[in-house]
Amino acid sequence: MKEWQSAYSVWRPRIVMKQEEGRQAVLSAYDSWAKKYPNQASMMGGLLFFRYLQEEKPDLLDFRAAGNKWPIVHSWASKSVAKLASQPQHD
């Protein structure tokens, strides 16, 4: 029985997030990443962030979507950046 349990712990069914859950998780990760790498955040239209997700946090890309997820993540990140840019700065 223990052998079967250890085999199951290695293989887990993939849980796919709803798109809204994915959007919230991705934007939270983007906020953290952009604070850590502000120069990269403004370069290449978010492609560096998407590569970061692919390499470091692929579970955040497990949301429901048909096809390539890059345009979706790019849209979310772009809207987030535009929203932040339009807010008044408090210094």
| Each residue's pLDDT tens digit, 26-50 | 999 999 998 898 888 777 768 899 9
Separation between Cα atoms, residue 31 and residue 6, nearest integer Å: 36
Mean pLDDT value across residues 62-86:
82
Q: What pTM does this model have?
A: 0.71
Q: At what angle do helices 47-56 and 19-36 cross, to 10 degrees?
A: 110
Handedness of CA 67, 70, 75, 76 (dihedral sign): positive
Separation between Cα atoms, residue 39 and residue 36, nearest integer Å: 9
Task: Answer yes or no: is pLDDT of 16 > 70.
Answer: yes
DSSP 76: H
Mean pLDDT value across residues 71-84:
80
Mean pLDDT value across residues 70-83:
82
Confidence at residue 60, expressed as pLDDT on a 0 to 100 scale: 94
Confidence at residue 10, expressed as pLDDT on a 0 to 100 scale: 55
Collapse the DSSP code of 71 into the 3-class scheme (helix H, G, I; strand E, B; otherwise coil) and give the result.
helix
Separation between Cα atoms, residue 68 and residue 48, nearest integer Å: 16
